[in-house]
Chains A and B, each alone.
Chain A
Amino acid sequence: MYDSLTNRRNFIKKMAMLSAITAAASMFPGIVFASEQEKGIPDNANLDWKKGPCRFCGVGCGILVGTENGKAVAVKGDPNSSVNKGLLCVKGYHQIMCIQSKDRLKTALVKKNGNYVETPLNEALDLVASKMKESIAQNGKDSVAMYTSGQSTIPEGYIASKFMKGAIGTNNLDCNARLCMASAVTGFLTSFGADEPMGCYEDIDHADYFVTWGNNMAEMHPVLFSRMLEQKAKRGAKIIDFATRTTRSSTASDKSILFEPQTDLAVANAICYEIIQNGWVNKSFVEKHCSFSKGLTHIGYGLEDNFQFTDKPEKIDFEAYKEFLKDYSPEKVAKYSKVSVKDIKYLAAIYGDPNKKVVSYWCMGMNQHTRGTWINNLVYNIHLLTGKISQPGNGPFSLTGQPSACGTAREVGTFTHKLPHGVVMNKKDREMAAKIWKVPVERIPSKPTYHATEMFRAVDRGDINFIWVQATNPLVSLPKTSRYRPAMEKKSCFVVVSDVFPTPTTDVADVILPAAWHIEKGGLYGNSERRTQYWQKMVESPGEATPDTWMFIEVARRMGFEDLFPYSKENHVEEIYNEYRQFHEGAKHGMAPLEVLEKESGAIWPYVNGKSTQWRYNAKYDPACSNGEDFHFYGKPDGKAVIWQRPFEDAPEKPDQEYPFWLNTGRVVEHWHTGSMTRRIPVLHQAMPNAYAEFHPDDAKSLGIRNGENIKITSRRGSCTLPASINERGLPTKGQVFVPFFDENMLINDVTLDSFCPISKEPDYKKCAVKVERA
């Protein structure tokens, strides 16, 4: 990367200045250094600035990457992007620094006699194709699987789906978005019949209140949080943090309300109880646009292999719903939620005030929940009862964690049950896929197979004999890795991993394929606000590193599917996107054409008549509304959104005498997910070199634990030793331990529980029981 020491020092100085600017931006929202950044670039630098989306997180900030002599040398926020308006977080500014890491995967590695041997890529791809064919011939189509990512580009996800479902004919395709977003999907589908938020980030400019549900936005979505802080300073907008742990978000908010883990279900119902009791229901909205339903209760936790569950929705009326809520008066709920009656009423009054606009934000706290679908439904209930939805500044908004969890995992559909349009269970959706893919419709199976957790259980049982893991690191990110690491090491399964860097997952691979990093290939991502963003290749990959899409295509062709994958190496991204767009034609999900995405910093679907749709289901903004009313929830056959009767139910594992603490896991601002990229960025690694275990000071005192002292955290599944952190970054409630999961040397997921929401199949990383002792 560096021609000389002077160049390297200049580069590092630029990065150091960017660090300071980023730190300032987090302290002073709206702070302006942008013109100074431009001035800081030497006149003779001759940088070519190319636009694209950020590689980290689901916010989808626009970035400009400065390249010089074919190398990426600088990053700045795209001032033309309406998402971030020129701002970036500390990860965004430093992202390109990881691609020069010395241990970058540049060649294919094939395990031979226990050692990895550098192998020409073509030879490695031959081996992958032959192993896949061999497994299918010996054990059937469902013996092969692919596990992809919310970091996969839209073309990567699309080709993975076409390859597995259309060419091979198996639904053994799932992705890591199952671990972070699946409850949001099932929440949207059950309440509205269509996935993804109805609003957009512009809601921030209009809302009077932001209520964050179990969501540390200051660290996880810092650019959006800085936009909220700007509105707080400018217009007096208020931020209410509702969480199980005091974080940077809590301290920057107007009010922090803490609750006992899992009882968000009860508090949400109590808010609805109060809204009804106080006459704050928007009656005309509810009568015209909502119906009421209930589902099964005591639905289990998915702890057993081959767990099955299907909900049985049943229509109810408003009176039955009102009767159900009697168990959730603030007085009753306060007793077990540890939220005071006053605070429950305070939250209800915010939502109930017809003159205040309210946006609810959430991410992993609500989604990684054994009742994740339910809690998503319950927050929608609050917005539906008050009619605060699908309008500027009013709405529920599920944030995503990965750059294309929406665009790829949810829209292309890299889940076992999904197709690019609709689901495998639906005959018409299979027919549409078969027609566009040019395959016999009978080849696409109608039954979903393995969701993420069950896929790795199947590997453990020996039911899957070949798995291809792409752009993700499940042996750090899965729950209960203490089971799934040995499973992936078994000889019964041939493991292929394509990635940019070595990880604990590549460590168990039989073949490691070197992948191109995002600016080394063209692609498209879709962010949390339904914005599709396109970028073109900016720099060359090192060695034989190759775009994942192209490696999928090469293997598919080697398996005899040449006719289904006729794309050219030079233009495959564009050719694939144009093929994919056919699935979403129409007013409800039309995607912007490439020529628009080339010019603009993304476009929000539905993209209709040359225009993004910012607020869905609102006839004023959404051309798909056709019922002649102000709102039309057209995802449901009757055009109505569903208010769900969902009870509070306990977590599967609670603290007890033997394991007296809750364990909560999560992220930190410096690192992105399993740290495989951000830990290779020196400034980020130095800022947060290792994981830690946060304790409440009272717990630390009673256990005799000092700050920095090594502590062993043990559950019924495994243990992990980390330094204690007392009153530093975050402050858990008494009886709770918090550990970030980015550190592969301190694998907290050896300790977590692989329970999941029976509807979404998304695991709960936020609640299990542990004991702690000095190591």
Chain B
Amino acid sequence: MNENSEFSHSYNQHSMPIKSYLAHPIAGRKDELLAALKGFDQCEVLPAENQNILALVTDTLNDKEDEILKEKIEALSSLKLLALVSGFNTPQ
């Protein structure tokens, strides 16, 4: 591979993470989870119309903030499982 290629080392920067997840709510508590996630400024959430699942994107300023947000989400009682799908970093 061409050593100048961007993609081979584009993940070495440590800043401003954007991550996407699938959030699985506890049965019957999808609306509650949706409302809770919408309450976080750093979250964008899309509920599936015909399945018990939500697509979630988090946008934070740095790794520390990302970590704190994740802890808060995982503490939500309406959440059964949070599965990471992808992660991006962009330069500050």
Contacts and interface: CB of A to CB of B under 8 A. Distances in A.
B86 A687 contact: yes
B76 to A, nearest CB: 17
Nearest to B3: A103
Contacts of B10: 682, 685
A32 B20 contact: no
Contacts of A103: 2, 4-6
A502 B90 contact: no
A20 B7 contact: no
A31 B88 contact: no
Max chain A Cβ within 10 angstroms of own Cβ: one of B50, B55, B88: B55
Given A36-B46, A40-B46, A682-B7, A20 B56 contact: yes
Q: Is the interface of A mostly helix, strand, loop or mixed?
A: helix
Size band of the interface chain A makes with B: 35 or more
Contacts of B87: 686
Interface string B39-64: 00000101111110101110100000
A19 B59 contact: no
Nearest to A22: B85
A18 B66 CA distance: 20
Contacts of A19: 20, 85-86
A28 B53 contact: yes
B20 A16 contact: yes
Interface stretch (A6-14, A485-493, A749-757): A6-14
B86 A502 contact: no
A232 B47 CA distance: 24
Contact of B50 (A30, A101, A502): A30
Contacts of A9: 16, 18, 59, 90
Contacts of A571: none
Contact of A685 (B7, B44, B49, B56): B7
A744 B10 CA distance: 18
Given A16-B20, A19-B85, A686-B11, A5 B90 contact: yes
A103 B1 CA distance: 11
Nearest to A102: B6
Interface size grouping (class) on chain B: 20 to 34
Interface in A681-710: 681-683, 685-687
A344 B32 CA distance: 51
Contacts of B53: 24, 27-28, 31
A239 B83 CA distance: 27
Contact of A745 (B1, B6, B19, B51): B1
B20 A20 contact: yes
A21 interface: yes
> Looking at B49, B57, B91, which has the most chain A CB atoms within 10 Å of its CB?
B57
B75 to A, nearest CB: 21
Contacts of B56: 20
Contacts of A530: none
Given A21-B46, A102-B6, A16 B51 contact: no
Interface string A299-333: 00000000000000000000000000000000000
Given A24-B51, A686-B86, A101 B20 contact: no
A686 B86 CA distance: 8
A41 interface: no
A357 interface: no
A758 B63 CA distance: 57
A264 B18 CA distance: 46
B49 A32 contact: yes
Interface centre among A19, A744, A745 (most CB of B within 10 A): A19
A33 interface: yes
Contact of A16 (B11, B16, B47, B86): B86
Interface in A733-775: 744-745
A115 interface: no
B5 A36 contact: no
B50 A20 contact: no
A20 B21 contact: yes
A28 B51 contact: yes
Contacts of B36: none
Nearest to A103: B5
B22 interface: yes
Contacts of B55: 17, 20-21, 24, 33
A417 interface: no
A410 B8 CA distance: 35
A683 B1 CA distance: 18
A685 B16 CA distance: 19
A35 interface: yes
Contacts of A30: 50
B61 to A, nearest CB: 11
B48 A24 contact: yes
Contacts of B44: 13, 17, 40
Interface string A29-70: 011110111001000000000000000000000000000000
22 contacts: A9-B16, A12-B88, A13-B44, A15-B88, A16-B18, A17-B20, A17-B46, A17-B55, A17-B57, A19-B86, A20-B22, A27-B53, A28-B48, A28-B51, A101-B5, A103-B6, A502-B1, A679-B7, A680-B5, A682-B10, A686-B88, A687-B86
Interface of A: 5, 8-9, 12-13, 15-17, 19-21, 23-24, 27-28, 30-33, 35-37, 40, 101-103, 502, 679-683, 685-687, 744-745
